[in-house]
Chain A
Amino acid sequence: MNDLPFLDLTLFLPLVGALVMVLIPKRWEALLRLAALVVTTATFVASLGVLASFESGTPGFQQVTELSWIPEWGIGYITGVDGVSLWMIMLTTFLMPLCILTSWTIKTQVKPYFILLLTLETGMLGVFSSLDMFLFYVFWEAVLVPMYFLIGMWGHGRRVYAAMKFFLFTLAGSLFMLLSILYLYFASQGSAAAPTFDYRSLVGTPLALEVQILLFLGFFASFAVKVPLVPLHTWLPDAHTEAPTAGSVMLAAVLLKMGAYGLIRFGIAFFPDAARLLAPAIIALAIVGILYGALIAIVQHDVKRLVAYSSVAHLGFVVLGLFVGTIQGMSGGILQMLNHGLSTGALFLLVGALYDRRHTREISEFGGLARSVPVLAGIFLIVVLSSLGLPGLNGFAGEFLVLLATYQSYGWWVIPATFGIVLAAIYLLWAYQRVFHGAVSIEANRNLEDFRMREYVMFVPLVALIVAIGVYPKPFLERIEPSAKQIVRQLNDASVIPETRGLAEAP
Chain B
Amino acid sequence: MMGVQGEVAAGFEPVLAPLIIGLPLAGAVVLLIFGKRIGRLSGVLACGTIGLAAVAGLLNFIALLGAPEESRSTTQHLFDFISVGRFQTGVDLLLDPLSLVMVMVVTGVGTLIHVYSIGYMHGDPRYPRFFAYLNLFASFMLLLVLADNLLLLYVGWEGVGLCSYLLIGFWFDRPSAAAAAKKAFLVNRIGDFAFLIGMFVLFGAIGSLTIGQINEAAGALSAGVATTAALLLFAGATGKSAQIPLYVWLPDAMEGPTPVSALIHAATMVTAGVYMVARFSPVFEASGGTALTVVGVIGAATALWAALMACTEYDIKRVLAYSTISQLGYMFLALGVGAYSIAVFHLVTHAFFKGLLFLGAGAVMHALDGNTDMRHMGGLRRPMPIVGYTFMAGWLAITGVIPFAGFWSKDAILAAAWVEGNYVLWGVGVFTTLLTAFYMSRLYLRVFEGPLRTPEGTHAHDAPLTMAIALVPLGVLSVAGGVINLPGLLTLEHFLEPVVGESLAPEGALAFILSGIALVVAVAGIMLARSIYMASGAEARRARFVRPMAPLVNGARHKFYVDEIYGRLIVLPGKRFALFCADVLDRRGIDGIVNGTATLIGRTSQGLRHIQTGYVRNYAATFLLGVVAVFSFLILRVVAG
Residues of A within 8 A of B (CB): 165, 169, 230-231, 233-234, 292, 295-296, 298-300, 326-328, 331-332, 368, 370-371, 378, 385, 390-392, 396-397, 400-401, 403-404, 407-408, 414-415, 418-419, 421-422, 425-426, 429-430, 433, 436-439, 472-474, 477, 481, 484-485
Contact = CB atoms under 8 A, between A and B. Distances in A.
Nearest to B196: A418
A201 to B, nearest CB: 29
B586 interface: yes
A109 B542 CA distance: 79
Given A298-B578, A385-B162, A433-B179, A370 B84 contact: no
B87 A401 contact: yes
Contact of B79 (A391, A418, A474): A474
B537 interface: no
A422 B236 CA distance: 13
Contacts of B162: 385, 390
B262 to A, nearest CB: 23
Given A296-B581, A437-B181, 19 more contacts: A165-B594, A234-B590, A234-B591, A296-B586, A300-B582, A327-B85, A328-B85, A370-B172, A391-B154, A396-B155, A400-B82, A401-B82, A403-B200, A407-B204, A418-B193, A425-B185, A433-B178, A437-B177, A439-B173
Contacts of A292: 581, 586
Chain B contact patch, size range: 35 or more
B179 A299 contact: no
B84 A429 contact: no
Contact of B197 (A300, A332, A414): A414
B582 A437 contact: no
Given A425-B186, A437-B175, A438-B172, A328 B84 contact: yes
Given A403-B196, A408-B204, A429-B185, A391 B158 contact: yes
11 contacts: A234-B594, A296-B582, A327-B84, A327-B86, A371-B173, A404-B87, A404-B200, A429-B186, A437-B172, A438-B172, A477-B82
A292 B581 CA distance: 8
Interface in B132-168: 151, 154-155, 157-159, 162, 165
Contact of A472 (B79, B85, B177): B79
B178 A437 contact: yes
Contacts of A433: 169, 178-179, 181-182
B189 interface: yes
A107 to B, nearest CB: 32
Contact of A438 (B84, B178, B578, B586): B178
Contacts, number: 140
A481 B590 CA distance: 37
Contact of B190 (A231, A298, A404, A422): A422
Nearest to B143: A392
Given A296-B582, A391-B159, A438-B173, A414 B200 contact: yes
Contacts of A331: 84-85
Nearest to A420: B193
A400 B172 contact: no
B608 to A, nearest CB: 20
Contacts of A296: 578, 581-582, 586
Contacts of A473: 81-82
Q: Which applies to chain B's interface (DSSP): helix, strand, loop or mixed?
A: helix
B577 A438 contact: no
Contacts of A485: 85
Contact of B575 (A169, A299, A437): A299
B575 A397 contact: no
B431 interface: no
A417 to B, nearest CB: 10
A474 B80 contact: yes
Contacts of A437: 169, 172-173, 175, 177-178, 181
Nearest to B593: A231
Most buried by B among A370, A371, A425, A485: A425
Of residues A298, A332, A404, which shows the largest number of chain B Cβ atoms within 10 Å of its Cβ? A404
B587 to A, nearest CB: 8
Contacts of A436: 172
B85 A407 contact: no
A296, A332, A391, A421 interface centre (most CB from chain B within 10 Å): A391
Interface string B199-212: 11101100000000
Contacts of A368: 172-173
B310 to A, nearest CB: 28
Contacts of B586: 234, 292, 296
A426 B179 CA distance: 12
Closest 7 CB pairs of A and B: A437-B178, A407-B200, A391-B155, A327-B85, A437-B172, A234-B591, A295-B578
A484 B83 CA distance: 13
A438 B182 CA distance: 12
A186 B457 CA distance: 90
A131 B232 CA distance: 46
Contacts of B181: 433, 437
Contacts of B192: 421
A415 B194 CA distance: 9
Contacts of B577: 295
Contacts of A484: 84
Contacts of A408: 200, 203-204
Contacts of A429: 165, 182, 185-186
A418 B193 CA distance: 6
Q: Select the residue from B82, B201, B204, B575 with max chain A CB neighbours within 10 A.
A: B82
Contacts of A371: 173
Given A295-B578, A368-B173, A437-B175, A407 B84 contact: no
A110 to B, nearest CB: 33
B572 interface: no
Contacts of B203: 404, 407-408
A472 B152 CA distance: 12
A297 to B, nearest CB: 8
A353 B159 CA distance: 28
Contacts of A397: 82
A296 B81 CA distance: 34
B314 to A, nearest CB: 26
Given A296-B586, A397-B82, A407 B172 contact: no
Contact of A418 (B158, B182, B197): B197
Contacts of A474: 79-81, 83
A470 to B, nearest CB: 9
Contacts of B199: 404
A425 B249 CA distance: 15
B579 interface: yes
A332 B159 CA distance: 21
Given A298-B575, A408-B204, A419 B175 contact: no
Given A298-B575, A327-B84, A400 B582 contact: no
A392 B144 CA distance: 12
Contacts of B201: 407
B412 to A, nearest CB: 35
Contact of A430 (B85, B177, B182, B590): B182
A485 B190 CA distance: 33
Interface in B304-326: none
Contacts of B190: 422
A421 B165 CA distance: 17
B451 to A, nearest CB: 38
A422 B173 contact: no
B193 A419 contact: yes
Interface string B439-466: 0000000000000000000000000000
Nearest to A470: B155
A419 B594 CA distance: 29
Nearest to A477: B84
Given A234-B590, A385-B162, A299 B579 contact: yes
Nearest to A165: B594
Contact of A421 (B80, B151, B179, B189): B189
A211 B150 CA distance: 46
Interface string B353-388: 000000000000000000000000000000000000
